[in-house]
């Protein structure tokens, strides 16, 4: 299905794709001897206008990461466009040959986000790409490029559009013909990151997995809303890895304490953990964003002091979660212990997870979160004995730390022993102990 009358200008090198009414051909532009891609569609094809639409969209964008449009024309029975032949290797091929590092994965992901962000923001209205998959991402060394805007569409036209897309990669609302917006492309990019993660050294990295889960949530209301937000989250992660390599970030970690069920002692563990680090000279702040735990402490605990959004009490420091009618406070730098209650949706940038469970008959859980097997997740068994902890360790196939019985607000020696045992495995957290005396003086 090669358009007639182009032979004088273009020499067909190879037909890349062909059907009864469409063709994608690699051609040589004779005049200057350059390779180009020619896409053609029969005028009788119900989707014949897609060529013009793609040409129109490509014309509107000036980005080195998108193919350049050279020509749009028609013959007696066909429309065709000629665009730049993007050299390099597709992401799918690249991942078949290479197992990538986490840093590379994040770099590629950020670059893809930037291209999509350009599509969403450069024109008078967002253009939805709708066809994100590893075959459409090309790598030219460190440069990432995106090809094929064949089914891209303006957001305002999305309502009346035919549901197009590739089944494994497209968002559910795209396949079902639902309402499309920028989050539809977030889903696609999330799927590509997920695909990269499978072929990377960061396969078990729960921080990347969290971002993927959030970006590919089938419910678009629970999904990352726009590509900028996704890019920023990836950039935060990127900065963190860079700092990690330089060894500067050890005092700015986030630890999530998550309970298997409510009333399993999550808050107590989180508070004691915060005190554990503060006693060792590492500034560590307890934080509970969901509940009013810190306010209750302020109201009921004696000898507390409130300063710049932080509640101080002996070795304990906690962040007050103020509403809009309080003058804004800058969160202090340091380590954060996040009390997540029994909410398994842990914050995406958590460095380490303490999972608190209990083997009491009324508190036993049937299902454990998927991430429990990963490195950096530690299990504490509260209100339990040695035998039940050993049993649980067998079930989970990882070490379970038995939590001691406690009284009063302060951290007990037995609790300190548990945390010491956990953090002796974490190099980054031990470094801070050397600064104990220095930090105490500064404070």
Partner 1 sequence: MVKKIKLKIKKKDNKTICVVGVSSKSGVTHLSLSIANFIHSVLRIKVIYVELKKESSLLPVVGIKQTKTLDMVSYSYKGVTFVLTDNPKDVINLMKMKKAWIVIDMESLNQETKTIFTNADNKIILGFLDPWNQREYYKFLETNTMFINGISKIRFSTRSKNKKEKNNLRKFSGMDIVDIPHIENPFSLKEKEFDILKQIIE
Applying CB under 8 A, the residues found at the interface with partner 1 are 292, 295, 299, 306-309, 320-327
Q: Closest distance between partner 1 and the C-beta of residue 246, in Å?
A: 35
Q: Closest distance between partner 1 and the C-beta of residue 306, in Å?
A: 5
Q: Of 165 and 309, which CB lies nearer to partner 1 in the complex structure?
A: 309
Q: Of 81 and 319, which CB lies nearer to partner 1 in the complex structure?
A: 319
Residues 6+ apart with CB under 8 A from 99: 199, 200, 201
Rounded-to-integer distance, Cα 140 and Cα 118, Å: 19
Rounded-to-integer distance, Cα 375 and Cα 189, Å: 26
Q: Of 8 and 324, which CB lies nearer to partner 1 in the complex structure?
A: 324
Q: Closest distance between partner 1 and the C-beta of residue 368, in Å?
A: 31
Q: Give the CA count within 13 Å in the CB-facing half-sphere of 52.
A: 10
Q: Which residue blocks in 91-226 are alpha helix, DSSP H?
A: 91-97, 102-121, 172-175, 182-198, 206-215
Q: Closest distance between partner 1 and the C-beta of residue 319, in Å?
A: 13
Rounded-to-integer distance, Cα 307 and Cα 180, Å: 46
Query: How are beta strands 10-18 and 22-29 bridged, if at all?
Result: antiparallel
Given a contact cutoff of 8 angstroms between Cβ atoms, the answer to whether 20 and 58 are in contact is no
Q: Closest distance between partner 1 and the C-beta of residue 298, in Å?
A: 8
Q: Of 188 and 309, which CB lies nearer to partner 1 in the complex structure?
A: 309
Given a contact cutoff of 8 angstroms between Cβ atoms, the answer to whether 177 and 86 are in contact is no
Q: Of 95 and 320, which CB lies nearer to partner 1 in the complex structure?
A: 320
Q: Of 308 and 433, which CB lies nearer to partner 1 in the complex structure?
A: 308
Using alpha carbons only, what angle is made at residue 258 by residues 253 and 264, rounded to the nearest 5 degrees?
140
Q: Closest distance between partner 1 and the C-beta of residue 328, in Å?
A: 8
Given a contact cutoff of 8 angstroms between Cβ atoms, the answer to whether 25 and 120 are in contact is no
**Residue 127, both tokens:** 């253009």
Q: Of 324 and 442, which CB lies nearer to partner 1 in the complex structure?
A: 324
Q: Closest distance between partner 1 and the C-beta of residue 221, in Å?
A: 20
């Amino acid at each position: 299905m090669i358009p007639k009358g182009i032979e004088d200008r273009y020499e067909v090198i190879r037909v890349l794709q062909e059907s009864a009414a469409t063709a994608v051909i690699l051609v040589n532009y004779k005049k200057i001897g350059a390779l180009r891609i020619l896409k053609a569609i029969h005028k009788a094809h119900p989707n014949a206008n897609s060529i013009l639409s793609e040409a129109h969209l490509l014309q509107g964008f000036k980005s080195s990461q998108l193919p350049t449009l050279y020509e749009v024309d028609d013959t007696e029975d066909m429309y065709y466009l000629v665009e730049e032949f993007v050299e390099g290797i597709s992401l799918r091929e690249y991942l078949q040959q290479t197992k990538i590092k986490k840093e590379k994965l994040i770099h590629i992901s950020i670059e893809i986000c930037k291209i999509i962000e350009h599509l969403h923001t450069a024109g008078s209205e967002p253009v939805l790409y709708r066809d994100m998959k590893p075959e459409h991402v090309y790598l030219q060394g460190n440069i990432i490029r995106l090809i094929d805007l064949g089914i891209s569409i303006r957001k305002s036209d999305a309502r009346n559009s035919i549901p197009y897309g590739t089944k494994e990669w497209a968002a559910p609302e795209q396949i079902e013909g639902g309402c499309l917006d920028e989050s539809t492309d977030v889903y696609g990019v999330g799927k590509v990151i997920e695909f990269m993660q499978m072929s990377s050294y960061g396969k078990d990295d729960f921080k990347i997995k969290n971002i993927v889960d959030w970006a590919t949530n089938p419910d678009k209301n629970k999904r990352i809303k726009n590509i900028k937000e996704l890019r920023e989250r990836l950039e935060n992660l990127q900065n963190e890895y860079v700092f990690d390599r330089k060894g500067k970030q050890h005092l700015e970690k986030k630890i999530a304490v998550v309970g298997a069920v409510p009333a399993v002692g999550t808050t107590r563990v989180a508070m004691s953990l915060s005190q554990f680090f503060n006693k060792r000279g590492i500034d560590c702040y307890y934080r509970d964003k969901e509940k009013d735990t810190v306010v209750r402490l302020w109201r009921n605990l004696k000898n507390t002091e409130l300063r710049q959004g932080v509640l101080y009490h002996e070795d304990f420091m906690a962040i007050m979660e103020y509403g809009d009618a309080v003058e804004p406070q800058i969160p202090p730098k340091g380590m954060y212990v996040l009390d997540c209650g029994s909410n398994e949706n842990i914050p995406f940038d958590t460095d380490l997870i303490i999972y608190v469970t209990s083997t009491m008959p009324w508190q036993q859980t049937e299902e454990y979160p998927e991430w429990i097997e990963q490195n950096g997740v530690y299990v504490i068994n509260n209100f339990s004995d040695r035998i039940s902890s050993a049993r649980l360790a067998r079930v989970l196939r990882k070490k379970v730390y038995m939590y001691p019985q406690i009284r009063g607000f302060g951290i007990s020696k037995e609790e300190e022993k548990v945390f010491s045992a956990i953090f002796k495995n974490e190099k980054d957290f031990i470094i801070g102990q050397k600064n104990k005396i220095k930090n105490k003086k500064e404070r």
